[in-house]
Structure 1
Amino acid sequence: MVIFDCDGVLVDSEVLLTNVHVTQLRKLGLNITHAELTERFLGVTDRAMHAALEADLGAPFPDDYDREVKAELRRRGARELHAVPGAAAALRRVHGPCCVASSSAQAELEFKLDATGLAPYFSGNVFSADVVAAGKPAPDIFLYAACAMRVAPAECLVIEDSVNGVKAAVAAGMDVIGFTGASHLTPAYGDRLLAAGAHAAVGDFGSLTRLVPERFVQLD
């Protein structure tokens, strides 16, 4: 089975997500840069990010913070969210089961996949870290996805763009390939994914499908 992360692997959404959070945080008086937000929180759950940033702020976020973020993401996402180039073509070549396992909230996951036309490739097999105790780098979401799909962890291949996600896949006992093909990363970030335990790192879906074993992807 192939398990895909969503943001930064299937959907080119990380730049938009970071922009929205930086704007909202500055309204609260927390001046954090785009680079710092990416460095600290790429691949982690919203609840973990919120807890850390509330500690930085020294106060809880306003009750409407999440609502404001989600509303802005929905407003801008309709025109700014795009599938990562080559994602749909790669998904058409996957044979056997596949799913999404992500740190994003379930409703936001479904919105992003619907907005980019990728949802039909997963037949509803979209799993959010909302349903597990610990987000990445803990292995919980990947083990949950494997259990839900009735596939042994050792038979899973994970595609991840974050160090936290790679560490989670390794901890779950799964093979993992690092992916740097979305707009928020440079190819050099692949070295960090390799250091975290990815057995390879690629910068586009063409390279990915050539690298993935034939038991997962139908090669020409």
Structure 2
Amino acid sequence: MKDLKLVIFDCDGVLVDSEPITNQLFLDILKSYGLSIPHEEFVAKYVGSGMSVVKSLLYTHHHFTLPDDFFGIFNALSLEALQRDLKPIPNVEKAIDDLTVPYCLASNSSPEKVRLMLKKTQLFERFEGKIFTSNLVAAPKPAPDIYLHAAQANGVSPDKVLVIEDTHIGITAAVAAGMQVFGYTGTFPAQRLIDAGASNTFSDMRDLMGLMKKAYG
């Protein structure tokens, strides 16, 4: 794989199965404030976006302003729920351990949340010292900043990077960074990821190495 020098994993929905937990919690808290949103609408319109974007979109679509204490409540309850219920994405350990090139993680989530999730799923040792979160850059995904930062920190040109993402937001960020993206279909259907710019999609982490060999030789 001479043309591949680095693999960058998103975290939520790619390494850990956090999306169903936090999405439902978000909807439950919104409902307690009097706003009910169908799960399908929430996933389609909001998942993958940073919290400031979600806040803006809620006002745009529903004329709803999140209370000042919302994010504090949501973050605290999220950490509790993830510590209790989180699991790794099936077969992701093998996908990581089979890699023959360097790898790292780039996430919109907070450093605290990423560390908790990796430790809960026993993935932390694989990523210690290889974690990049959006607090390190000016703008979160869909801006390309975090992916460009991770590549630069590893001394790798963007065109030598493969990103593994599960949302159109993350794929948009990676494509804007000039990187190839494989879309994992755990959160969104394959076509949504392809439309965003993914060059391949897959639904089982055991298939990742085979796709990489086809793409890079």
Normalising by structure 2, we get a TM-score of 0.89
In 2 relative to 1, CA 46–124 (structure 1 residues): closer, same or farther, beyond 3 Å? Answer: farther
User: What is the Cα-based RMSD across aligned positions, in Å?
Assistant: 2.1
CA deviation map 1:170-216 (0-9, x unaligned): 11111110101x3x44xxx1112112211110001111121113898
- Matched with 1:32 is 37
Q: d(CA) in 2 for partners of 1:29 and 1:57?
A: 11
Flag structure 2 segments of 5+ consecutive residues without an equivalent. 1-5
In 2 relative to 1, CA 20–216 (structure 1 residues): closer, same or farther, beyond 3 Å? Answer: farther
- Matched with 2:211 is 211
Q: For 2:14, which of 9, 12, 24 is the aligned residue?
A: 9
Q: For 2:28, which of 23, 28, 32 is the aligned residue?
A: 23
- Matched with 2:200 is 200
Q: d(CA) in 2 for partners of 1:163 and 1:59?
A: 24
2:144 is aligned with 1:108 = no
- Matched with 2:71 is 66
Letter in 2 for 1:210: G
- 1:2–1:216 Cα contact (<8 Å) kept: no
- SS of the residue corresponding to residue 213 of structure 2 reads coil
- Matched with 1:51 is 56
Q: d(CA) in 2 for partners of 1:132 and 1:33?
A: 33
2:154 is aligned with 1:145 = no
Flag structure 1 segments of 5+ consecutive residues without an equivalent. none
Letter in 2 for 1:20: L
- Matched with 1:120 is 125
The number of residue pairs the alignment matches comes to 212
- 1:8–1:14 Cα contact (<8 Å) kept: yes
Identity %: 37
More displaced stretch, 87-96 vs 4-13 = 87-96
